[in-house]
Amino acid sequence: MPTFQLTLAHDVSVYGTVEVEAENYAAAIEAARADLDGPMQLWDGITDTDWSTSCRFRVVDIYTIDDEGMGQVPLMRNITLTEPDESTPLSAEQVLASVTAARITT
């Protein structure tokens, strides 16, 4: 029986509180935005994960595993398993339609 390696993903909310010295609230917000392009000193400490917000379950990519245990070129990528921004599973038919569409375009 073939073996497949799947990279799975889902989105969760992550929270944290930081202090920013700034002239006004707009400058404080800009400091948070600008930190995304820089050293990410503000964002690196944001680690309080709210697992109850888990959504957008998906298969990022899927590989076959050969006899030596090595993955091959991905068979397909980005197969959504749930409703957008939710954790409600799609039906087997909806997922199969995505898999079929991905195989046709691969």
According to the model, what pLDDT value does residue 105 have?
A: 75
Residues 78, 72: Cα–Cα separation, whole Å? 17
Phi, psi (deg, nearest 5) at residue 65: -105, 125
CB 46, CB 35: distance < 8 Å: no
Tens digit of pLDDT per residue, the chain (106 long)?
888 889 999 999 999 999 999 999 999 999 999 999 988 899 998 999 999 999 999 999 998 887 776 667 778 889 999 998 788 999 999 999 999 988 887 6
| Domain ranges, ordered by start, for the chain | 3-105
For the entire predicted model, the pTM comes to 0.74
According to the model, what pLDDT value does residue 68 have?
A: 72
According to the model, what pLDDT value does residue 47 have?
A: 93
